[in-house]
Structure 1
Amino acid sequence: MYLMLGTIALEPIDVTDFSEIQAARFAEHQVLKGKPRLQAMGESLAELNLSVRLHHKIGGVERRYQALLAAKAKQDALALIWGRGKFKGNFVITDIHSNTLFTDKYGNVLCRELTINLKEYVGELKNNLLGAALNIGKGSLLGSILPPEFFAGMNAAKEALTKGIDLYNQGKRIVDEVQNTIAIMKQFSQDPATALAYLPSVLGNLDGALGSFSELTGMSELFNGVRSVLPVVSEFSQEVAEIQSGLMAIQSDFQQGSSGSDWSEWFPSANRTMSEVAESFDFLAPRVAEMTAWIVLRNDDEVNNDTDRA
């Protein structure tokens, strides 16, 4: 199981390593005789404590760690999505405790375990990736963008979109690992023989990533049912095709390297293309967040409808 804090993928160390505090506030008024009287003052902000892991198999460890530190430093409110799309709310990071578990022989961190303390954020959202999607229509995305005639035919499109996002996240995690490995290889530009030892790993991961993005590209027509109510789907499909093309170019470059071509003939090109692919992922982050929010809110809407009928 995984969770998302903003756009940062995290892996819980154990599903039981999670604590939550929900509290109410009361004012205590002293009286001349007897016990004090309590006056309800409202609810306190929820507090969460998570034990999570950053593993290089899921994505770049240092990149995600620095993103968490940056969010804490800026006091950014981040959307927390748990498991397969349950929106828990918006939270700020109050504390991060980190332990490095292991590194590679060059000192690159391959796994960190973190304890993250979060506090609920209530108020205006400025740059939150899910903010726009979750705040349309007084908190109901569906209430503002879906005409009534669309509700009956949305389940198939929602399922396709859910699978598409799963494939995207799966492929992105593998690409993050490829990017991390390329960054390590770049450190050995003056020692290509050492860098070439990483070739089999990169080529294997590229095969896996291309499998995910090829399947995702083939699903484009299945998203037609939601394009009119969720325009970002069209941008998503176009950018995914660009990512697939970029990964194929990187694969071709690395195959040249495995065939004995000179380092200068293929690695700089692969490195440039990897940077372009990374930019595509940055471009897609808010769009994927909006799509995820749409799915989450549609699930909640269906649950509410079932409850109302009961």
Structure 2
Amino acid sequence: MFAILGDIEFTVAGGISGMEHTGTADWAEHPRIQGKPLLEWIGEGLDECNLTIELHPVLGDPEARLRALRQAKSKHEPLAFVMGSGEYLGPYVITQVGNMIRRATAVGQTVAGTVQVSLREYTGLFTRKVLRPGLVDSALNGTSAAVIGSPGLISRFLPTPSTTQLVIGHAKSASNILRAGQNLYESLKNGNASTILGQVPQLLGVTARTLQPLQGLANAAGLLDDGADLTRLGEVVLDSVMGARSSLSPVDIGNIVERFGASYAALNQAASVMDSAGPRLAGLAADVLVRRA
């Protein structure tokens, strides 16, 4: 299996022929008198992924596979995106499904074509559904798609990420977002009250993005036999992040500098505690590599 999006599986044997993954950063441009504009980093942009899938009867029923993708898009729901290696990329939404027909029947049914699927990262609240290996869409039983592998099939060999992998993934996500938050705070610490006040929505946004992975870390670590320390770590970091957020609400031009300092200190504390778990998480990663977890 190459990757799975929700319960839509993509395999090389099933026709996937390419994937383009892009990440962006948002920068504001400030004009300056008699000089080039100054760029100011605002925050991370949403990751995007474009998949290229070949349709052909030998790869599965083209119409059924295209229909599965279109139905998933029409539901307007975020879906867990997991690589075949077990790496969890996070929730994504389908923003576009394009089909270039190269061969069709006399009544317009696709026989051969190329599908372009555009995915965009979703950063809202999301609860990942755990898929059960061996579950096959009953609508595809007995079809060539069920035998070969199609978007409607959950592989019986699906390598569902282990609890240890989930802990590592949540911790990595939280660390990356906290680091991005520190960069944003650092860029503002020497600014005036008006500038800092104008960036409060961005500060609240970057801290909000840490809540889900930290909650996921605490919950997943609780399922490990020896994960009590990581559960506690996740809770401590989450408390610090909540402190960073509460320091910025409510704020006004008179108190923003003081409250910004308190928020920055709380965020740095969260990042420091998170960094202290580096050796512990590295040990878990090693266990995964040697198939002990």
Q: Structure 1-normalised TM-score?
A: 0.42
TM-score by length of 2: 0.45
Higher helix share: 1
